[in-house]
Amino acid sequence: EAGVAQSPRYKIIEKRQSVAFWCNPISGHATLYWYQQILGQGPKLLIQFQNNGVVDDSQLPKDRFSAERLKGVDSTLKIQPAKLEDSAVYLCASSLPLGAGRTGELFFGEGSRLTVL
C-alpha cells in the first residue's frame, strides 16, 4: 500500500513570495490533515478535510494561507505572501474514520520543509 505522498520535499523562498505544497493521501482515506511543525515544536493542525469539505480550519492564518482538496483526493496548501515565521515543515496526514476497531491513527507523509529568507 502506498503511503502519503508530499512534494516538494524542500523549498526555499524569499519573504513575500508564494509557495504551494501538494499532498496525495493513502487511497481510501477520507480525512486529510495539514499540520505545521516549527523547529523544536510539536505539529500544529492547520486544516482538516473530510472528503472535499473543510472540518476544521480554526488555526489556519486565512489572510495568507489557503488550502483545497478538489474531488476529495489530493490537496494543495498555498502560502501567499510568505513571512519569515512561516519557515517550518508542513506535514500532510490522512486517516480512516473511527469505528470498526480503528483508532483514528494518522498516517503522515515525509513533510515539506519550507525556508523563508
Partner 1 sequence: AQKITQTQPGMFVQEKEAVTLDCTYDTSDPSYGLFWYKQPSSGEMIFLIYQGSYDQQNATEGRYSLNFQKARKSANLVISASQLGDSAMYFCAMREGRWGAQKLVFGQGTRLTINP
- Contacts of partner 1 in 55-74 (CB under 8 A): 55-56
Q: Are strands 44-50 and 19-24 parallel, antiparallel or unpaired?
A: unpaired
- Grid cell digits, residue 64: 495568507
HSE at residue 18, side-chain half, CA atoms within 13 A, is 9
19, 21, 23, 31: which one contacts partner 1 (CB under 8 A)? 31
Stretch that binds partner 1, among 16-24, 44-52, 63-71, 75-83 (CB under 8 A): 44-52
Work out whether 5 is an interface residue with partner 1 (CB under 8 A). no
Stretch that binds partner 1, among 21-29, 62-70, 77-85, 103-111 (CB under 8 A): 103-111
Work out whether 108 is an interface residue with partner 1 (CB under 8 A). yes
Q: Are 35 and 59 in contact (CB under 8 A)?
A: no
